Amino acid sequence: MSTRPSALDSLVFGVDVQSGDVRGSNRPSYAVVAFDGEQVDRDVVSRRKLLRLLNREEPDILATDNVYELAADKQALIGFLRGLPTGTKLVQVTGAERPEPLSRVASRHGVPYGKKPMKEAEAAARLAAANVGQEVSAFTDRTEVKVSRGRSTGKGGWSADRYTRRIHGAVKRHAREVESELDEAGLDYETDVTEKYGGYANAVFEVSAPLGEIPVSTGRSGDTRVEIEPIQRDGITFEPLAKRRDHVLVGIDPGTTTAVAVCDLDGEVLDVLSTRTADTAAVIEWIIERGRPVVVAADVTPMPSTVEKIRRSLAAAGWVPETDLPIDEKQHRTREEGYDNDHERDAMAAVLFAFDDYADQFERISRKVPPRADRGEVISRVVADEESVEAVLTDLTETDDGEPEEKGPEPRELSAEEEEIKRLESRIERLEAHASELEETVEDREARIEELDEELTETRREERREARERREVARLQRENRRLERERDEKGEEVSALEDKLDRLKALWKLDHSNFADVAEKRAGLVPVKPIVVFLRDATGAGREAARRLSEIGPRVVLATGGLSRVSDEVLFEWDVPVGPAADVTIQEVDELAVAREHEVDAAIDDWEERAAERRRDRQESMVDRLISEHRADRGEG
């Protein structure tokens, strides 16, 4: 089991400054580690090459211990975020605004760490792959699409008016095309149109979707142009990679295979886990990632010590049934849920029975919770902390209303000089961008190197895929050999038991006395002597009596009154035939009892048929159990 959701099928880049400083005149170089969950590739690159590498490979995560190693200040960081590929997240693995030392974070999560830049880059990549860290963002999930004039309308005059009408008409047509594409994509948006003579001067669409989902392309087409930009936040935000769900209930079935089931406060099963390798700490972390536990439940009473330890660690209320939950009730309660083995069924049964027990209390609490209050938080504090609903609501209300919201100052109107400065700064930015483009042309000599880098990357990716396939084939072959050995061993056991049964039958069919002293009218009867046992009352027979009787080796045991389950099991294990005495005519002659030979044979034949059916049922049950365990093991692998 992986104790955290990880990026094993994703590509994660970890970076750290190798030399130089992004804020100084000495341009930085970076140690870069590419990690896909198994393979690690390392390189040292310039900043410019790092940006090209990101755009070419489009990793899912770019991880670092400090984002300001990539940008000099917040404004530069926003520009850096804007230039990242659409699907790439920037992650600071050491926390948010007040990061911890990378060495401490790596130690806490069991990730190898070293002080050299390449080691720090690898630690950052491995931490981010385990969903450790904060995603750094400067943009919302909304995008602005602007359709505007692609040419200047020029000065007045009759020809200029016609020219202006044509441009504004083109903007209007293009805006309607964009509107149609957004509608076809099913996206919600708001439109702000500036109408001008002959059509639109511009049309701005604020779309409720991230940049990667916009079906429109940036560019210039004749008299119009389209600009697409994500809508910027007021500042830089940090959000944890591992997002938790709401308050939940947890059921746990401990043992060699530990199973955990999680359901929400409405009784819907959210997730289930079974593992034979995870320790208690890993199980607790798995639970925390799926919600904030209100109740931890078990299917037996008293609560097992392992479950109690987890409950205390999560500071949750505990629940156990009055008596151990019967298997048929657990099967019935989980009949509409999917599970892979009996352990997952037991964990699900525990959490669902706990929900049933708390459902009325949850409903009573929910009726008292006002619409704006956090229902889950109130239920958690009432159930786990044993507070009253009124006290919790009072505390939450005081917390929400304690501090008035501060409003920032209204923006003032810029003076003409400030407007000119702003215009010049914008022009400088465009010139710097143009200068950057010119610098790119100087690097044509690196084109061949880039091509070789791409070929090398593709080759390494293919090698990683083939290595994963080889490991999977080897694992399946080992598993197949193990199952074949188990099958052969079980076949040998069955064969040995069948041989033993044949030998016992041969011994029981030894020659019997004819009882010559019995009257001629009793001819055709078989004597009931030590080889055939008649029990006038078998209801009191236990394990020890059955064992001693089996050691005698009777041909058949004829009993009046039903045998106990224990004694019947012992006689069956010793292959001693058992039949009801009522089916055989038994006559007592002085101190001797006799029975008809064919009736005794019929009783033995009847038992042998039942015994054969019983053995087949056991063998089928054993095979079903082996298949179930095999499937459970394969699911965890």
Domain boundaries, the chain: 1-132, 141-240, 247-400, 456-500, 511-614
Instruction: Give the integer Cα–Cα distance in Å for 391 and 498.
Output: 72
**Cis omega before residue 326 (within 30°)?**
no
Strands 247-253, 586-589: pairing kind: unpaired
| Average pLDDT value for residue range 370-392 | 81
The half-sphere exposure of 531 on its side-chain side, counting CA atoms within 13 A, is: 17
At 580 the three-state DSSP class reads strand
Q: What are phi and psi of 155, to 5 degrees?
A: -90, -175
At 278 the three-state DSSP class reads coil
At 105 the three-state DSSP class reads helix
In the predicted model, is pLDDT for residue 559 greater than 60?
yes
In the predicted model, is pLDDT for residue 523 greater than 60?
no
For residues 565 and 571, the answer to whether their CB atoms sit within 8 Å is: no
For residues 339 and 345, the answer to whether their CB atoms sit within 8 Å is: yes
Nearest CA among 577, 468, 479 for reference residue 533: 577
Question: Which residue intervals of 213-341 are DSSP H helices?
Answer: 280-290, 305-314, 327-333
| pLDDT at residue 426 in the model | 60
In the predicted model, is pLDDT for residue 159 greater than 80?
no
Instruction: Give the integer Cα–Cα distance in Å for 329 and 359.
Output: 18
Picking from 6-15, 325-334, 450-459, 511-520, which range would have the lowest pLDDT averaged per residue? 511-520
Q: What are phi and psi of 90, to 5 degrees?
A: -95, 125
Instruction: Give the integer Cα–Cα distance in Å for 63 and 620.
Output: 53
**Superfamily of chain region 247-400:** MutS, connector domain (3.30.420.110)
Q: What are 390's two structure tokens? A: 């009124």
Picking from 174-178, 253-257, 360-364, 412-416, which range would have the lowest pLDDT averaged per residue? 412-416
| Average pLDDT value for residue range 8-37 | 86
Nearest CA among 289, 303, 299 for reference residue 342: 299
The CA-based angle 502-503-508, given to 5 degrees, is: 95
Cα 337 to Cα 49, 258, 347, distances in angstroms? 51, 18, 12
Instruction: Give the integer Cα–Cα distance in Å for 466 and 451.
Output: 23
Q: How confident is the model at residue 176 (pLDDT cuts 50, 70, 90)?
A: very high
Instruction: Give the integer Cα–Cα distance in Å for 596 and 604.
Output: 13
Q: How confident is the model at residue 529 (pLDDT cuts 50, 70, 90)?
A: low
- Mean pLDDT is highest, among 120-124, 183-187, 600-604, for 120-124
Residues sharing a CB contact under 8 Å with residue 263, sequence separation 6 or more, in sequence order: 248, 249, 251, 269, 270, 351, 352, 355
Residues sharing a CB contact under 8 Å with residue 282, sequence separation 6 or more, in sequence order: 1, 3, 275
Q: What are phi and psi of 65, to 5 degrees?
A: -90, -15
Q: Which runs of E-coded beta strand occur in 208-340? A: 219-221, 224-240, 247-253, 258-264, 269-275, 292-297, 317-319
Residue type, 576: V
| Average pLDDT value for residue range 476-499 | 89
For residues 53 and 165, the answer to whether their CB atoms sit within 8 Å is: no
Question: Which residue intervals of 402-446 are DSSP H helices?
Answer: 416-442
Picking from 18-27, 152-161, 352-361, which range would have the lowest pLDDT averaged per residue? 152-161
Nearest CA among 118, 133, 110 for reference residue 33: 118
- Mean pLDDT is highest, among 396-400, 410-414, 577-581, for 577-581
Picking from 213-222, 429-438, 448-457, which range would have the lowest pLDDT averaged per residue? 429-438
For residues 563 and 541, the answer to whether their CB atoms sit within 8 Å is: yes
Q: What are 96's two structure tokens? A: 């948010």
For residues 42 and 118, the answer to whether their CB atoms sit within 8 Å is: yes
Strands 556-559, 532-535: pairing kind: parallel
CATH architecture of 141-240: 2-Layer Sandwich (3.30)
Q: Which of residues 464 and 303 earns the better pLDDT score?
A: 303
At 363 the three-state DSSP class reads helix
Instruction: Give the integer Cα–Cα distance in Å for 14 and 7.
Output: 13
Residues sharing a CB contact under 8 Å with residue 278, sequence separation 6 or more, in sequence order: 1, 3, 258, 286
CB-neighbour burial class of residue 547 (10 A; exposed 0-12, middle 13-18, buried 19+): middle
* 288-312 pLDDT per residue, tens: 888 889 999 999 999 999 999 999 8
Instruction: Give the integer Cα–Cα distance in Å for 28 and 118.
Output: 14
Q: Which runs of E-coded beta strand occur in 110-162? A: 134-149
* 245-269 pLDDT per residue, tens: 578 999 999 989 999 999 988 888 8
For residues 618 and 490, the answer to whether their CB atoms sit within 8 Å is: no
Place of tokens 């309308």: 153
* 197-239 pLDDT per residue, tens: 778 889 999 998 888 788 888 888 778 889 988 888 878 888 8
Instruction: Give the integer Cα–Cα distance in Å for 420 and 531.
Output: 119
Q: Is the dihedral of CA 438, 440, 443, 448 positive or negative?
A: negative
The overall average pLDDT reported for the chain is: 81
Residues sharing a CB contact under 8 Å with residue 51, sequence separation 6 or more, in sequence order: 83
Q: Which residues are 633's β-sheet partners? A: none
Q: Which residues are 214's β-sheet partners? A: none
**How many Cβ atoms from other residues are within 10 Å of residue 114's Cβ?**
12
Length of the chain: 637
| pLDDT at residue 405 in the model | 39
Question: Which residue intervals of 443-582 are DSSP H helices?
Answer: 447-508, 543-552, 565-573
